[in-house]
Structure 1
Amino acid sequence: MPILTSSYNPLLLFKNGHFSTIYSGKIRKVHGVEQERQTITTPDDDFLDIDWSYSKNKSNKLTVILHGLEGNAQRPYVTGSAKIFNKNNYDVASLNYRGCSGSQNKKFRSYHSGDSQELAWLVKYLIENFPYTEIVLKGFSLGANVILKYLGEEEVPNKIKAAIAVSAPCDLHGSMLEIHKTKNYLYALRFKKSLLQKLKHKQEQFPDKISNSDLKNIITLKDFDDFYTSQAHGFKNALDYYEKSSSLQVLESIKVPTLILNAANDSFLSKSCYPYKQAEENNSLFLEVPKYGGHVGFYDANNTYYNEKRAIEFLNSVF
Structure 2
Amino acid sequence: MSATFDTSTCPVPVWLPGGHIQTLYGAYVAPANHLRFVRERVNTPDGDFLDFDWSGPGLVAQPAVPAQDQEPLPRKSVALRWMTDEDRTLIEGMTETPALVLFHGLEGNSESRYSQSILQYFRARGWLVVLAHFRGCSGTPNRLARAYYSGDSDEIAFILRTVRSRASNAHWHAAGVSLGGNALLKFLGERASQARHLKAAAAICAPMDLVATGNHLSDNWFGRHFYTRHFLRSMKPKILEKATRFPGAIDVVQLSSAKTLRDFDGAYTAPMHGFSSAEDYWTQSSSKPWLPSIETNTLILNARNDPFIPQASLPGPDQASTAVTLHQPAEGGHVGFTTGTFPGNANWLPARLARFFLTGY
Q: Given the two structures, how large is their TM-score scaled by the length of structure 2?
A: 0.84
Tell me the CA shift for residue 210 of structure 1: 3.1
- Between the aligned partners of 2:287 and 2:187, the Cα distance in structure 1 is 8
Residue 255 of structure 1: aligned partner: 295
Contact 1:15/1:293 (CA < 8 Å) preserved in 2?
no
Contact 2:207/2:309 (CA < 8 Å) preserved in 1?
yes
- Between the aligned partners of 1:195 and 1:36, the Cα distance in structure 2 is 26
- Between the aligned partners of 2:6 and 2:252, the Cα distance in structure 1 is 50
Distance 1:70 1:32, change over 3 A: closer
Paired AA for residue 213 in structure 2: S
Tell me the CA shift for residue 167 of structure 1: 0.5
The equivalences for 1:230-269 within 5 A come to 230-269=270-309
Tell me the CA shift for residue 211 of structure 1: 5.0
Residue 356 of structure 2: aligned partner: 314
How big is each residue's C-alpha offset from its partner over 1:166-193, in whole Å with a ceiling of 9 and x where there is no partner? Answer: 1110000000111120132201111122
- 2:30 aligned with 1:28: yes
Residue 79 of structure 1: aligned partner: 116
One of 44, 47, 50 as aligned partner of 1:48 = 50
- Between the aligned partners of 2:101 and 2:143, the Cα distance in structure 1 is 24
Residue 190 of structure 2: aligned partner: 153
The equivalences for 1:132-171 within 5 A come to 132-154=169-191, 155-171=193-209
SS at match of 1:3: strand
Contact 1:70/1:191 (CA < 8 Å) preserved in 2?
yes
- Between the aligned partners of 2:306 and 2:239, the Cα distance in structure 1 is 28
- Between the aligned partners of 2:251 and 2:210, the Cα distance in structure 1 is 28
- Between the aligned partners of 2:281 and 2:251, the Cα distance in structure 1 is 22
Tell me the CA shift for residue 32 of structure 1: 4.7
Q: Between the two proteins, what is the percent identity of the paired residues?
A: 34
- 2:18 aligned with 1:16: yes
- Between the aligned partners of 2:45 and 2:270, the Cα distance in structure 1 is 21
Contact 1:53/1:92 (CA < 8 Å) preserved in 2?
yes
Contact 1:133/1:159 (CA < 8 Å) preserved in 2?
no
The equivalences for 1:88-99 within 5 A come to 88-99=125-136
Residue 84 of structure 2: aligned partner: none
Contact 1:3/1:286 (CA < 8 Å) preserved in 2?
yes
Paired AA for residue 23 in structure 1: Y
Residue 62 of structure 2: aligned partner: none
Distance 1:161 1:214, change over 3 A: same
Residue 228 of structure 1: aligned partner: 268
Number of aligned residue pairs: 318
Tell me the CA shift for residue 56 of structure 1: 5.8
Across the aligned residues of Structure 1 and Structure 2, the Cα RMSD in angstroms comes to 1.8
- Gaps of at least 5 residues in structure 1 are none
- Between the aligned partners of 2:291 and 2:251, the Cα distance in structure 1 is 39
One of 323, 338, 359 as aligned partner of 1:299 = 338
Paired AA for residue 202 in structure 2: I
Tell me the CA shift for residue 45 of structure 1: 1.0
Indicate the larger mover: 181-190 or 41-50: 181-190
- 2:155 aligned with 1:118: yes
How big is each residue's C-alpha offset from its partner over 1:104-158, in whole Å with a ceiling of 9 and x where there is no partner? Answer: 0001110001112101011112222323331111111001101100100013243
- Between the aligned partners of 1:247 and 1:211, the Cα distance in structure 2 is 28
SS at match of 2:4: coil
- Gaps of at least 5 residues in structure 2 are 60-93
The equivalences for 1:190-201 within 5 A come to 190-201=230-241
Pick the structure with more helix per residue. Answer: 1
Contact 1:60/1:134 (CA < 8 Å) preserved in 2?
yes
Contact 1:171/1:272 (CA < 8 Å) preserved in 2?
no
Indicate the larger mover: 265-274 or 224-233: 265-274
Tell me the CA shift for residue 78 of structure 1: 0.3
- Between the aligned partners of 2:170 and 2:256, the Cα distance in structure 1 is 50
- Between the aligned partners of 1:156 and 1:14, the Cα distance in structure 2 is 41
Tell me the CA shift for residue 212 of structure 1: 4.3
Distance 1:3 1:209, change over 3 A: same
- 2:338 aligned with 1:273: no
How big is each residue's C-alpha offset from its partner over 1:65-123, in whole Å with a ceiling of 9 and x where there is no partner? Answer: 01111111110100110011112221111011100110000011100011121010111
- Between the aligned partners of 1:56 and 1:109, the Cα distance in structure 2 is 36
Tell me the CA shift for residue 209 of structure 1: 2.1
- Between the aligned partners of 1:47 and 1:252, the Cα distance in structure 2 is 32
Contact 1:60/1:131 (CA < 8 Å) preserved in 2?
no
Paired AA for residue 14 in structure 1: L
Paired AA for residue 222 in structure 2: K
